[in-house]
Chains A and B, each alone.
Chain A
């Protein structure tokens, strides 16, 4: 792929994708509030958050599909609403957005033409993308007859045909089986290694952990930002696995308590994220209610960090700001 890489990718120094103080309102609802982020060349930035957090709205503003109520959105230093920016930008929306009644080949040709590629160049890039996405044997197949994974790979190929410097993916693995998902990520890594900047959104913590940096979005606000393992390291609450004869009773007892930041059943055990320093007192009290408990500390997973942050936005507030900026690994 290196030979096909856009020469601009290597030349850019500053952030390729940049948001400063983004604001978007729908009536009285503030969907995105004062959101700032940047994605450098060769970096994968994951915008993570539950449904309704504002991920898609942020992405639509950064791709120029939605007007801003405040702030600045830039791609390659240009305002995202400029038509010229679209030459630099590849976008794969969350929902199915290709022509189901056109074949793989016809979809690629159509989008190639929209980007003004001449026939020879278009065919060369198409062949290359079909080869690396392993869709070449299916060129004549209609898009609506592809599996979920193949469809996403075709959508990715359509978004990459014009060799953008920035790639924006809205929940790319949504509706994709694990094998296809791994393939999709291999493709993303391949393009990023050529210097492309990738911004993606996901509600999936495993997927978030694959990003170089993540921003945790909740109610339209960025709660924390950094490399996933750095955020995990900085997480200062306590994570533990608790075993008891009566797991459900314990769960009912702890749900909604101020000390409990997150809890989730895992087999016969209960996984808890508790406020720092509250474990001994809380579990001692719980034992008096539901009987004997056995617990042991657990290494916080990225999901624990995320859930902890939702309950307490200060969960990762230490240490120094230099670590926060993280950067590509």
Chain B
């Protein structure tokens, strides 16, 4: 039994590393994907292409426009003369936001009259639109307040009265765990969870389908070994590779994206083992249904898409409808990402992530047992 198991494990590893494409898929691709996805999945909004419609053309209007694009948020892409032209630029995707300063902007401010600045925002990318609108609004409010104060002080000085600047109620935010609000720190653990999903589900399901397609499974099944040996032999090598990948993702995240490692790594290891148990089980279940590698790939894809979307990787689970939130409890990707984020960023302890570990353990054991039963029935 041990010789047979060893034979299959060695054979799998030999085939995997002999085929350079498979080896690259399992070891190099996760690292490259971590880097590419890590940089790509970034919700920070800056350098928003901006147009200015300055209908006033006065020193005050120019100062307002220069101040707006002086920071990182807005990037000046052009001055146009009319609102219609600005809308045309938005239509063509040249700019995302246009700021219209009305004629009489300086005079009206000088007279202390209510003055409006118009924003034209492309709502196609709602996230970027909201952030850009908020930034422009905040800037306008700040300028308006400064002008009002200056004016009040000037008027008081003219009357020979000293006026104290009024007290301001301000928000003092202290961001914990990720003080610079670096979104990589939030996303890299998610990328890790999804990459492991690809490696384990696709490779396991396709590996078994390939044996069926090639007829080698039949040759194996006329040897005197139990189906359990086949199952372990076909999954252990990929569990090992997936575990190495998990290490590479954590190390790559720390080195490339400065994702901190604040908690205990053994918790990540334990979560990784339970997670891999689940995903390998899913790979095995797929291979009991699929008759070809192509079918395996399609079925694996149908599982992976919702698993990633419902994992909280991209969108917060709290924003999903209640019934869908319940469904996510059965998603191993959700639990792994939660453990990775909690342990890496918040130095979570065993008791902090115990619910996730219990969920992963429950899912892992259930799915793997189901898969083993299905495989044994089929192989017998």
Binding site for B on A (CB under 8 A): 63-65, 83-84, 86-87, 89, 91, 93, 95-102, 106, 109-111, 113-118, 158
Partner of A100, one of B8, B214, B225, B226: B214
Contacts of A106 in B (CB 8 A): 11, 14
A91-B219, A96-B215 provided; 11 other pairs, C-beta below 8 A? A64-B222, A97-B214, A97-B219, A99-B11, A100-B214, A101-B15, A110-B11, A113-B4, A114-B220, A116-B3, A116-B224
CA distance A111 to B11 in the complex (A): 10
Partner of B216, one of A65, A89, A98, A118: A98
Contacts of A100 in B (CB 8 A): 214
Contacts of A91 in B (CB 8 A): 219, 222
Known interface pairs A101-B18, A102-B14; A115-B223 also in contact (CB < 8 Å): yes
A9 → chain B, closest Cβ, in Å?
18
Partner of B11, one of A83, A96, A102, A115: A102
B97 → chain A, closest Cβ, in Å?
56
Contacts of A109 in B (CB 8 A): 7
- Which residue of A is nearest B230, CB measured? A114
Residues 217 to 254 of chain B near chain A (Cβ within 8 Å): 218-226
B218 → chain A, closest Cβ, in Å?
6
CA distance A100 to B216 in the complex (A): 10
Cβ–Cβ contact B216 & A114, under 8 A: no
Q: Is B6 in contact with chain A by the CB < 8 A criterion? A: yes
CA distance A113 to B6 in the complex (A): 8
- Which residue of A is nearest B216, CB measured? A97
- Which residue of B is nearest A115, CB measured? B223
Cβ–Cβ contact B7 & A114, under 8 A: yes
Residue interface mask B202-220, A partner, CB < 8 A = 1: 0000000000001110111
CA distance A63 to B222 in the complex (A): 7
Cβ–Cβ contact A84 & B224, under 8 A: yes
Cβ–Cβ contact B7 & A113, under 8 A: yes
CA distance A98 to B257 in the complex (A): 45
Cβ–Cβ contact B214 & A115, under 8 A: no
Cβ–Cβ contact B15 & A102, under 8 A: yes
Known interface pairs A99-B11, A101-B18, A102-B11; A111-B215 also in contact (CB < 8 Å): no
Known interface pairs A99-B15, A106-B14; A116-B219 also in contact (CB < 8 Å): no
Known interface pairs A101-B15, A102-B14; A89-B4 also in contact (CB < 8 Å): no
Contacts of A87 in B (CB 8 A): 224
CA distance A109 to B214 in the complex (A): 19
Give 23 A-B contacts (CB < 8 Å), ordered by A residue. A64-B222, A65-B221, A83-B225, A84-B224, A97-B214, A97-B216, A98-B216, A99-B15, A99-B216, A101-B15, A101-B19, A102-B15, A106-B14, A111-B223, A113-B6, A113-B7, A114-B3, A114-B223, A114-B225, A115-B224, A116-B1, A116-B4, A117-B3
Contacts of B3 in A (CB 8 A): 113-114, 116-118
Residue interface mask B1-34, A partner, CB < 8 A = 1: 1011011100100110011000000000000000
Residues 315 to 348 of chain B near chain A (Cβ within 8 Å): none
A63 → chain B, closest Cβ, in Å?
6
A31 → chain B, closest Cβ, in Å?
17
Q: Which 8 A-B pairs have the closest CB atoms?
A: A113-B7, A97-B215, A114-B223, A86-B224, A97-B219, A91-B222, A95-B215, A114-B4
Contacts of A96 in B (CB 8 A): 214-215
Name, among A83, A93, A114, A118, the residue most crowded by chain B CB atoms within 10 Å (CB to CB): A114
Contacts of B225 in A (CB 8 A): 83, 114
CA distance A35 to B220 in the complex (A): 27
CA distance A100 to B211 in the complex (A): 11
A12 → chain B, closest Cβ, in Å?
19
- Which residue of A is nearest B222, CB measured? A91
Contacts of B216 in A (CB 8 A): 97-99
Contacts of B224 in A (CB 8 A): 83-84, 86-87, 114-116
- Which residue of A is nearest B217, CB measured? A97
- Which residue of B is nearest A100, CB measured? B214
Contacts of B8 in A (CB 8 A): 114
